[in-house]
Amino acid sequence: MTPDGRLERSWLPGGVRVLTLERPQRRNALTPFLLDAIAEALAPDPSVRALILEARGPAFCAGYDLAQLGEDAAAARSPDARIQEVLAMLEAHPAPSVAVVHGAAFGAGCELACACDFRVGTPDTVLCMPPVRLGVVYAPDGVWRVARLAGVQRARWMFLTAAEIGADEALAWGLLDLVADDAQARAHALATTLASGAPLAMTGLRRTLRAIGQSPIDPAERAELEALRAEAFASEDAVEARTAMREKRPPRWKGR
């Protein structure tokens, strides 16, 4: 296995496609390589009737690899564009999707789970959105993915406090649909049920549900938000956040 990990692809009966993140040494933190692998696996394929997204190791996904952020910043390249592109592909895929969420699902890992149609968690599942600890402004579409499930006020709590939300609370908030010790088996059974539905009806209903759940942002406001995000990503505070994490100490914010 390469340092960037790999995405294992397998099948269950009935056209259920299983995508497994394999980068356990980094808690399945996402890299450009893994994002590209997910995008490739989401290419149109009429034989796929349902998708399962799961992971090996102690965590579902620790988010975007922080070690990659320094390289991205040096290249004046935000990883968000690719993350949002891949998650939009997952949401738009004709087949319904189920995430098996165990252990930590932080940042982009939490958003990856939220981009699936259903989330089956384990008792040790913990969800967290920590951008305020990193000195960055999260992508509006990513904030929306959390808010459409948990509600705006609970999303506000998650993003502004970076609180870690345990399995029971996540279930009550709508961030998880089911919590079980045998989460993988329950997720596989759910995906099998979804795969048995009429494909055109499934696709149409999923598109309908996405449409009624959207709250478009005005183009001018989106441009302003993107400018704020770019400013924060290039700020001294963002650099300090990465340095503090490497040095395992609290960050010293400057507000610039």
Question: How would you classify residue 191: left for phi > 0, otherwise alpha for psi between -120 and 50, otherwise beta?
Answer: alpha
Residue predicted with more confidence, 136 or 158: 158
Residue 240 CB neighbours (<10 A): 15
Nearest to 194 by CA among 6, 14, 7, 11: 14
The two three-digit tokens of residue 228, written as one number: 């704020």
Is residue 32 pLDDT above 70, yes or no? yes
pLDDT tier at 230, thresholds 50, 70, 90 = confident
Please state the rounded mean pLDDT for residues 194-212. Answer: 91
What DSSP string describes 212-248?
Answer: HT--PPPHHHHHHHHHHHHHHHTSHHHHHHHHHHHHT
The domains located in the chain, with CATH, are: 1-183+195-256 (3.90.226.10)
Q: Return the pLDDT at 77.
A: 66
Nearest to 108 by CA among 179, 27, 176: 27
- Entry field: residues in the chain: 256
CB 61, CB 112: distance < 8 Å: yes
pLDDT tens sequence across 120-153: 999 999 999 999 999 989 999 999 999 999 999 9
SS3 assignment, position 166: strand
pTM of the model: 0.88
Q: Please tell me the distance from the alpha carbon of residue 98 to that of residue 206, in angstroms, as a whole number.
A: 13
Is residue 78 pLDDT above 90, yes or no? no
Is residue 212 pLDDT above 90, yes or no? no
The two three-digit tokens of residue 18, written as one number: 């299983």
The two three-digit tokens of residue 159, written as one number: 């993003």
